[in-house]
Chain A
Amino acid sequence: MPKQSPVPDKLDQAFYAAANEERLVIQHCAGCNRYQYPPEPACYECDSSDQLSWRQVEGHGTIYSYAVVYDTPVASLQPDEPFNVAVINLDECPGITMLSHLPGTPSGKVPIGAPVRVVFEVTPATGQKVPEWQIADTDSCR
């Protein structure tokens, strides 16, 4: 569904550049062997930026929870109310979560625990792509 276009900045431009190539990359600290998202200037664990890099992940996840939004102050989302917003656990990055509108899943019909896979969606204002998540066909995606 249409959403605001995120404006990349120094901190997350690699994330959004990869999204435009339909790749999901997550910040990773090699020293701590730890992923983090949203991006930070330094590893939250060791407070160092020396061993931070971007790692591409395949984009498999699981629905952790959700809400159905009936009232948001964001104008670009209002035409689609009520809409799902789900929390996705990234299978490859323990502890890391992302949000999703779950394209293709009817409002309120969200199966917690279901597997999902990443897709990429164009945001209208600038054409910037962002990661989204769809309930997976388990035979084809695992």
Chain B
Amino acid sequence: MHAVDSPTTPKSPAPPGGVTPHRAGRRPGRPRRRLGDQRTPWLLSLPALAVLVGLLGYPLYRMVVLSFQNMRLRELLTGRTPPWVGFDQYTKVLTDPVFWTVVRRTVVFTVVSVLISVLLGLAIALLMRRVHRRVRLFMIIAMMFVWALPQLVAAQIFKWMTDADFGVVNYLIDKLPFVEFKNHSWFLSPTQGWIVITALVVWAGVPFLAITLNAGLTQVPKELLEAATVDGAGPWQALRSITLPILRPLIVIVTTLSVIWNFGLFTQPWVLRDSKVEAEYQTLATYSFTQAFGRSNYSLGSAISVVTVLLMLGVMAFYIRQMFKIGEVD
């Protein structure tokens, strides 16, 4: 401001007066502060690191070790070191056709449920841009309630709604002409059972996706869309060549997250099958859990967990890379 009023006189003393002492004051101060800077952040992170290493790192290590041993109920009760068995658990797991069925089922479920959820979420997000303000508010409120619901409670509601005798779903479908659905048991046929599970997962997952993607859509410059329309682009073309490319980073992140979440599916089959998951409804997570705690085969369960983590490693690394980039930005 001074510089504008009287360009010459205050300007020349300003640089030496304003900048140099600042630098001079900083230069000797810096090495000292940096020494402190090296120690303080480590001291600050120490408790968190200790907790993470002690209670996540060590169990992770123990899980791997355990998968090379044979820990059964006897070792658990006596506290004796379980016998080492080398790769036996892995051989057992990897040559077991049941395991591969479970892997295939988990992968298929993940692909199908993520595809439906993300596409539906995107469609709803786009719909939210088209509707009246009040309708949009209604949609947001409806989705908020669903999103806020605890997983276990949501699963219990679905269990109750698809109850064979008194479930409202059977009643409503039965109302349709030419359909006999009284006392229909949804979980007798695995296909139908999985439809219920997928519906539950999609229903619970769409709010996060739609609301997040809708927030992303507000960032798409309207001018671009208008320019495209003026240039003769149809709505579909505008979506494909403008909206989606801009939204891409966000879509990538929410899809990755959905894959990670749905791959670890546990609660829904567990609750819908009354904590006694049948072979047709096992996912990798429930399978490992039942092997370990249901059959006291802790080592086998660990081996399955290790394989699960390895299967997910690629997706996780991808997510971390994305988040890391973001973390570097600010």
Q: Are A and B co-members of a single complex?
A: no
List B residues at the A interface (Cβ < 8 Å): none
